[in-house]
């Protein structure tokens, strides 16, 4: 029952049954692309397979499969350790890292990765505020640029909000030339003193 046509012998042994492991080629169901993997030579009696790690060794620990790395941080919600995972952004289609609670699916907490590789416990990244040079026409405080998610479309959008929040709840949409849309204010006269 052994199919030797596309198999390559290796020096590794199956951790399950002790038989030799062979390297094979498969076709990914998701991408249609060929990929290499390690399989137990005792197949079909033993169905163990392993991904190929960067250093060409079998992925005995399932590192590739789960793509989750335990971190030294704890979930502030339930106290379980956070794991670092990789996801694909729906908007940019790019891979990104994030921290997720290992208590998933009971605890669905996730955190962005800050510049210093720590979990974004304070939601610093999420609101993405950026100070602007524009002043609030209502109270004179500086406006900050924020990101919000539209309830209607589910899309991210930028807006300007007063840094005096929550005392001042003024906010403005962003015009085509990246200015706060003060509405009725004249183009030349976009700084309004109180």
| Stretch of 4-12, 147-155, 157-165, 182-190 lying at the interface with Zn ion (CB under 5 A) | 157-165
- CA–CA gap between residue 143 and residue 84 (Å, rounded): 34
Is residue 120 a contact point for Zn ion (CB under 5 A)?
no
Q: Please, which residue, 64 or 168, has the CB nearer to Zn ion?
A: 168
Q: Please, which residue, 64 or 192, has the CB nearer to Zn ion?
A: 192
- Binds Zn ion (CB under 5 A): choice among 7, 10, 13, 48: 48
- CA–CA gap between residue 28 and residue 15 (Å, rounded): 24
Non-local (6+) Cβ contacts of 80 within 8 A are: 74, 101, 102, 103, 107
- CA–CA gap between residue 127 and residue 100 (Å, rounded): 19
Q: With 0-12 CB in 10 A as exposed, 13-18 as middle and 19+ as buried, what is 107?
A: middle
Least distance from Zn ion to the Cβ atom of residue 64, Å: 18
Least distance from Zn ion to the Cβ atom of residue 97, Å: 18
In 3D space, the residue among 52, 54, 48, 47 whose CA is nearest the CA of residue 37 turns out to be: 52
Element (DSSP H or E) covering residue 63: helix 63-66
| Stretch of 71-79, 84-92, 126-134, 183-191 lying at the interface with Zn ion (CB under 5 A) | 71-79
Kindly write out the interface string for residues 74-113 of this chain, putting x where it contacts Zn ion by CB under 5 A and - elsewhere: -x-xx-x--------------------x-x---x-x----
- CA–CA gap between residue 101 and residue 68 (Å, rounded): 11
Q: Please, which residue, 70 or 156, has the CB nearer to Zn ion?
A: 70
Binding site for Zn ion (CB under 5 A): 14, 16-17, 19, 40, 42, 46, 48, 75, 77-78, 80, 101, 103, 107, 109, 136, 138-139, 162, 164, 168, 170
């Amino acid at each position: 029952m052994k199919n030797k046509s596309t198999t390559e012998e290796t020096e590794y042994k199956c951790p399950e049954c002790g038989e030799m492991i062979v390297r094979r080629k498969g076709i990914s169901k998701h991408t249609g692309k060929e990929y290499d993997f390690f399989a137990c030579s005792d197949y079909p009696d033993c169905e163990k397979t392993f991904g190929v790690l960067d250093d060409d060794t079998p992925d005995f620990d399932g590192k590739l499969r789960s793509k989750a790395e335990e971190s030294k941080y704890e979930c502030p919600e339930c106290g379980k350790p956070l794991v670092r995972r990789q996801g694909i952004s729906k908007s940019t289609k790019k891979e990104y890292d994030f921290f997720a609670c290992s208590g998933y699916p009971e605890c669905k907490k996730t955190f962005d990765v800050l510049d210093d590789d720590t979990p974004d416990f304070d939601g610093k990244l999420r609101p993405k505020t950026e100070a602007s040079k524009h002043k609030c026409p209502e109270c004179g405080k500086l406006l900050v640029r924020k990101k919000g998610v539209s309830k209607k479309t589910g899309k991210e959008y930028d807006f300007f909000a007063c840094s005096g929040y929550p005392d001042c709840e003024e906010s403005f949409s962003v015009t085509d030339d990246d200015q706060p849309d003060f509405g009725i204010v004249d183009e030349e006269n976009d700084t309004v003193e109180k």
